Amino acid sequence: MNEYSIEFKNLVKTFGNSTILNNLSFGIHKNKITTILGFSGAGKTTLMKHILGLTMPTSGDVIVLGTAINKLDEMSLREFRRNFGMVFQYAALFDFLTSFENVAFPLREFTKMNEEEIKDKVLKLLDSVGISREAAYRLPSELSGGMRKRVGLARGLALDPHIMLYDEPTSGLDPITTHMVYDLMRDTQLANVKNGFTSVIISHDIHATLKYSDYIVFMEKGTVVEHLDVESFKKSANPVIRRFLEL
Amino acid sequence: MKAMVEKQIEQLGNTVMQMLQGLGDFTNFTFKTIFWTFKPPYRFKLLFEQIYFIGNKSVFIIFLTSSFTGAVFAYQIYVGMKVINADSFIGPLVTIALAKELAPVLSGLVVAGRCGAAMAAQIGTMKVTEQIDALEVMGINSYQYLAVPRILGATISLPLLSAIFLMIGYGGSWLIGTKLLQIDEVIFTSKVSDFMELGMVAEGIIKATVFGYLIGIIGTYHGFMVQGGAEGVGKGTNMAVVWGMITVLVVDFFLTSFLTKIL
Ligand SMILES: Nc1ncnc2c1ncn2[C@@H]1O[C@H](COP(=O)(O)OP(=O)(O)OP(=O)(O)O)[C@@H](O)[C@H]1O
Ligand SMILES: [Mg+2]
């Protein structure tokens, strides 16, 4: 079996005259947590959108779980996206639905579960991210940022995805909540690891990244500067990375 | 001097390009929403929610606008008609004006202001907070989920609101005409039924349906086009209202000349 769950092959993305992703070729390991680091504007979010097929390559291929995602037609792509769970920077909970309904949403849309089963599953998911019964029936606007993020995580996990993607899951959170979210991401990874589960995190938090990740991809101006396991990354001699590490 | 002229020409060029770009985006959006309207799954629950929402948000103000419009209009016409002793024609005059013009246009302006704005604000907020991306990631088409129910909701609701406008406006003019201005009740109603034709009511209903569709598509379009944060949402909302109202007024002109020919 392939050791990668996601592979980029000569991936190029240009917007107008500017090249945002410049001929990337690398793989993201199955069963591992990989963090994408890099300065603002390096192309991290754009790269993640390619994994989801929300953005299509100008040239090159994006292979996810053995499927060239850029070659799927629109309907197959929508179907395929159910392999992913995504946690957005500000959780992106539907503001017209309670926490409970947010987590139930993908189940109602994509499974034939009955009300009873949905309730069981949703409450179990909310429990696992530490959301109380009382908070489950509140609207996102009545939750704190950290709680929203946790509900977002529960929603991302609802359909038992094979790949979890997190775009800056901890930016704007206090240090305690940041570590709680990281613990959750690691626990999620560990709980699912036998199924070939993969986590991809975009982060600016170098310390948490070193503590929790297995692999680190360092991007700069649309290219991958380093792609190493954490221990090697710590020893990297690359001056840009040294500067990042000394922050 | 030359540099300044060049700069102005450049600016003009940019404005024209932007407008063309906008027109292209709007056309593209229109076709996409039409495509997704006919593609299953059909989300009836969302549609009914929108119809309820639009009705709920507008019915009170429609009630207020229509009763006063009918009453004031009856009174104004009376002043003119009295001079030539034709005050018994108040009924048909007011009702025809309401049916063909006032009910659809004023309802359209009300709905453009209230619901067009709400559509742009709701969708725009979802856009800037990545909720639309979240939908797409789950494999749900955001046009189908957010735009289609709102567009259809407005298309269905506006003729209903316009019909309510017509009935209440008629009621207002009837009250003023018969109670205040002392026109005989039987004469008032019989004159109305003498002069009113089904085609006139149809004209109003067709207009209202077209306005509803256009308000829906303009409101949702400006929601999807929102960029940046809260400021962008404000701008989008504003654009939805302004363009919604302009469109109602301009399209009314062309529809009138077209419909009077065929009805
Ligand atoms: N749809 C788009 N059209 C044009 N340019 C874009 C688009 N999306 C992204 N870009 C550009 O691509 C570059 C990389 O953007 P991206 O969002 O991937 O950066 P990032 O690494 O995620 O940065 P940050 O850490 O600030 O989130 C930026 O210069 C951005 O302006
Ligand atoms: Mg980003």
* Domain assignment present for B12: no
**3-state secondary structure (DSSP) of residue A30:** coil
A81 neighbourhood in chain B, CB within 8 Å: 136-139
Q: pLDDT of B108-135, one tens digit each? A: 999 999 999 999 999 999 999 989 999 9
Expressed in angstroms and rounded, the spacing between residue A85 Cα and the centre of ligand 2 is 17
Domain ranges of chain A: 4-93+162-241
- Cα–Cα distance for residue pair A8/A68, rounded to 1 Å: 10
Instruction: Name the β-bridge partners of A198.
Output: A163
Q: Does the residue B20 lie in any domain?
A: no
Q: Is B16 among the domain residues?
A: no
What is the predicted pLDDT for the residue at B220? 98
Beta-carbon count within 10 A of A15 CB: 11
Confidence of residue B98 (pLDDT cuts 50, 70, 90): very high
List the one residue out of A169, A164, A17, A7 whose CA is nearest residue A92: A169
Q: Is residue B92 part of a domain?
A: yes
Residues of B within 8 A of A93 (CB-CB) are 131, 134
Convert the pLDDT of each residue in B188-237 to its tens digit: 999 888 888 889 999 999 999 999 999 999 999 999 999 988 899 999 99
Long-range contacts of B128-132 (CB under 8 A, 24+ apart): B128/B226, B128/B227, B128/B228, B128/B229, B128/B230, B128/B232, B128/B233, B129/A90, B129/A92, B129/A95, B130/A88, B130/A89, B130/A90, B130/A92, B131/A92, B131/A93, B131/A94, B131/A95, B132/B224
Nearest CA to ligand 1 atom 29: A41
Could you identify the atom of ligand 1 that is nearest to the CA of residue A47? 18
In 3-state terms, what secondary structure has residue A238? coil
Q: Are B134 and A88 inside 8 Å of each other by CB?
A: yes
Q: Write down the pLDDT at residue B82.
A: 86
The answer to whether position B243 is within a domain reads yes
| Cα A15 to averaged position of ligand 1 atoms, centre (Å) | 9
Averages of pLDDT over runs of 10 residues in chain A (247 residues) are 87 91 94 92 92 92 93 89 88 94 93 94 90 93 89 90 91 81 89 86 90 94 91 88 82
In eight-state DSSP terms, residue A46 is: H
Radius of gyration of chain A (CA): 18
Domain assignment present for residue B201? The answer is yes
Q: What residue numbers bound the domain in which B116 lies?
A: 43-262
Question: What are the distances in angstroms from CA A229 to CA A48, A168, A215, A245?
Answer: 20, 20, 4, 15
Give the span between the Cα atoms of A45 and A233, in whole angstroms. 21
Supply the angle between the helices A145-157 and A115-128 in degrees, to the nearest 10: 130
Does the CB atom of residue A198 touch ligand 1 within 6 A?
no
- The answer to whether A215 and A34 are in contact (CB under 8 A) is yes
B10 within some domain = no
Please say whether the structural domain A4-93+162-241 has been given the CATH code 3.10.105.10.
no
A50 in contact with ligand 1, CB cutoff 6 A: no
Report the pLDDT value the prediction gives residue A196, as an integer from 0 to 100. 80
B18 part of a folded domain: no
Secondary structure in 3-state letters for B232-261: HHHHHHHHHHHHHHHHHHHHHHHHHHHHHH
Q: Looking at the 3D structure of chain B, how many domains does it have?
A: 1
Alpha carbon of A55 to ligand 2 centroid (Å): 14
Residue having the nearest C-alpha atom to atom 28 of ligand 1: A41
Average of pLDDT values for B63-77? 93
Say if the Cβ atoms of B131 and A82 lie within 8 Å: no
The interface predicted TM-score of the complex, written ipTM, equals 0.83
User: Residue A1 has what pLDDT?
Assistant: 52
Structure tokens at B259: 């419909």
Token pair for residue B80? 């003119």
- Would the CB atoms of A54 and B136 count as touching at under 8 Å? yes
